[in-house]
Amino acid sequence: MELRPFIDYFSLRRLIYRFVTWMPLRWMTLAMLLLLTGMLALAQAFLNPYYLSIIEFIGIYIILTVSLNLTNGFTGLFSLGHPGFMAIGAYVATLLTFPVARKPLMLPNLPAWLAHIEIPFLPALITGGIAASIAAVVIGFPVLRLRGHYLALATLGFIIIMSNLITNLRDITRGPLGINGIPAATTIWLVFGWAVITVYVCWRILNSSFGRALLAIREDEVAASVMGIHLTKYKLFAFVTGAFFAGIAGGLWAHLVTAITPRTFWVPMAFNLVVMVVIGGSGSITGAIIGAAVMSVLAELLRPIETTLGLYGLIQLITATILIVILIYRPEGIMGHNELNLAALVKVRSFGVSRSPSAPEDAKEGENRRRT
């Protein structure tokens, strides 16, 4: 007599599939947030500061890649200006949170009105994001008339301009020496709180009429313009929104590292962000998250090898190689234009053929039809 288990493997997969497809989206989102909260609490309780800092950097990179994807992936622009907006957010937040008692020593030539300002970290962070957004509006009107590599070069020039500007404003930024001793106000909860906000805002934009207009611009600007879509308005909105979150990420970065210089937010940062977006998938929020996490962890794993062997530049070499391989064999990235679908993850796959939970019922129906 053959004994069958109460629930076999395929029945369990079918049960999970039906549960996932039945659960409303808001409850699924709440469950994911609770899971993330639990994981962060465990990380804070059991991991040492080094591993915590790696997780915090991953969260900051998630903010940067998802917001950059709003411009590059969903709107079809090719912007490299995120490090420039990070620099604005970092320096603004630093100057607003730096202790008043230490400003005469570190920044003796500050203007009087700025030398006596010290506000909490969160308002300073938001102010840095707003300052980055204002800068995006100023440069967005002329720059967004360009396309393709011309736009990339223009935004690359913005990074160089910001670096030179910060270097020459010695009374406010200390020039090439930078500012150190910044309050360590960044926490894992703040980082991932802003990461969740970034993902939610970009997801809401993508799944709205505004987001469909951005996708239409990405596919064909001429056709979108003929259909009545105001190209400048929509491009500028995506550009400014991405700049705001880049400014937030810059402020978080500064208060995590506690030291910044003009070279902190330089061209290699732009290259790394574009690589993360391309590898993850330039049209996917999930892909941007995966690209940020994978490349951040890979860089930390390779860093001891690079230092031990003395092969400095190994991380950049391997990153460039991975990028070339991805562009050759999967140019759309890991996720392409797709998002994570929990229901698809639990579909039964056997012998290379996808079997949905309703496959047995469908097979019976097909057999009955053939008989009749």
133 domain residue, yes or no: yes
What's the DSSP call for residue 2?
Answer: P
Q: Does some domain include residue 8?
A: no
Q: What's the pLDDT score for residue 32?
A: 82
CA angle 184, 186, 188 (to 5 degrees): 135
Nearest in space to 124 (alpha carbons), one of 114, 137, 136: 114
175 within domain boundaries: yes
* Residue 246: predicted pLDDT: 95
Q: Is residue 236 part of a domain?
A: yes
Does any domain span residue 33?
no
Nearest-angstrom CA–CA distance, 56 and 191: 6
Distance CA 321, CA 286 (A): 23
61: containing domain:
51-340
Give me the number of domains the chain comprises. Answer: 1
CATH of the domain at 211: 1.10.3470
What b/e string do you get for 103-114 counting C-beta neighbours within 10 Å, with b at 16 or more? beeebeebeeee
Q: Coil, strand, or helix at residue 154? A: helix
Provide the total of helices (H) and of strands (E) in the chain, helices listed first.
18, 4
**DSSP for 100-111, written as a single string:** TTTHHHH-TT--
pLDDT tens, per residue, the chain with 372 residues: 444 544 555 565 565 555 555 555 666 778 788 888 999 999 999 989 999 999 999 999 999 999 999 998 888 888 899 999 999 999 999 999 999 988 888 888 888 888 888 999 999 999 999 999 999 999 998 898 888 889 989 999 999 999 999 999 988 998 899 999 899 999 999 999 999 999 999 999 988 888 899 999 988 888 988 888 888 899 999 999 999 999 999 999 999 999 999 988 988 899 999 999 999 888 889 999 999 999 999 988 888 888 888 888 888 888 888 889 888 888 888 887 777 765 454 453 433 334 444 444 444 444 454 444
CB 222 within 8 A of CB 280: no
Asked whether residue 253 is domain-assigned, the answer is: yes
Distance in angstroms (rounded) separating the CA atoms of residues 138 and 88 = 13
| Phi, psi torsion values for 355, nearest 5 degrees | -120, 115
On whether residue 213 sits in a domain, the answer given is yes
d(CA 149, CA 274): 13
59/198 Cα distance (integer angstroms): 11
356 domain residue, yes or no: no
Structure tokens at 67: 């917001």
What does the pLDDT read at residue 16?
58
CB atoms within 10 A of CB 95: 22
Prediction pTM value = 0.84
Task: Determine whether 82 is exposed, middle or buried from the number of CB atoms within 10 Å of its CB (0-12, 13-18, 19+).
Answer: buried
